């Protein structure tokens, strides 16, 4: 069985189909909660890095639609960032802007120097110009 970490490493090395080798049982789609969301997030990330934004979108949207018992988990708002990036990859800029704005609203009280917040603000500014 191939693990998530090994899959991400393989994708970084250029194996764009590595995410397809993961067994379906690793990715529960009928569970809402914290157990499933991080796994689904990692698969979405694997698909996004493998240049398969459509499949990535499905995973990030699933997380957004199923916040589980802890909608304040970092996985939930960061799914908006990854969904925005997937929309950028499919050239759907209005949806990307909407996702970035949702994330920025959710993190409006975060420290200004948090790396993902800095990155998102830069990506968002590029889209708005």
Tens digit of pLDDT for each residue in 21-50? 665 544 455 554 445 677 788 888 888 988
More confident: 120 or 38: 120
d(CA 92, CA 40): 22
What residues does each domain of the chain span? 4-128
Report, as an integer, the average pLDDT of 113-118.
95
Which fold is adopted by the domain 4-128? 1.25.40
Give tens-digit pLDDT for 1-24. 456 677 778 877 877 777 776 655
- Could you tell me if residue 14 is left (phi over 0), alpha (psi between -120 and 50 degrees) or otherwise beta? left
Task: Indicate whether this model's pTM tops 0.85.
Answer: no
Instruction: Kindly tell me if the per-residue pLDDT of 75 is higher than 50.
Output: yes
Q: What six digits make up the tokens of 39?
A: 């796994």
pLDDT band at 109 (very low <50, low <70, confident <90, very high): very high
67 neighbors 38 (Cβ within 8 angstroms) = no
Note the pLDDT of residue 125. 96
Query: What residue has token string 């802890």?
Result: 70
Q: Are 124 and 101 in contact (CB under 8 A)?
A: yes
């Amino acid at each position: 069985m191939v693990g998530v970490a090994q899959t991400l490493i393989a994708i970084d090395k250029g194996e764009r189909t590595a995410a397809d080798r993961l067994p379906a049982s690793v990715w529960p789609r009928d569970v809402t909660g914290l157990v499933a969301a991080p796994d689904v997030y990692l698969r979405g990330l694997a698909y996004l890095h493998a240049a398969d934004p459509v499949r990535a979108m499905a995973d990030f949207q699933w997380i957004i639609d199923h916040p589980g018992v802890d909608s304040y988990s970092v996985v939930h708002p960061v799914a908006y960032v990854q969904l925005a990036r997937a929309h950028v990859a499919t050239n759907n800029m209005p949806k990307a802007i909407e996702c970035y704005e949702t994330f920025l609203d959710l993190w409006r009280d975060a420290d200004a120097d948090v790396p993902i917040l800095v990155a998102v603000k830069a990506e968002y500014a590029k889209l708005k110009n």
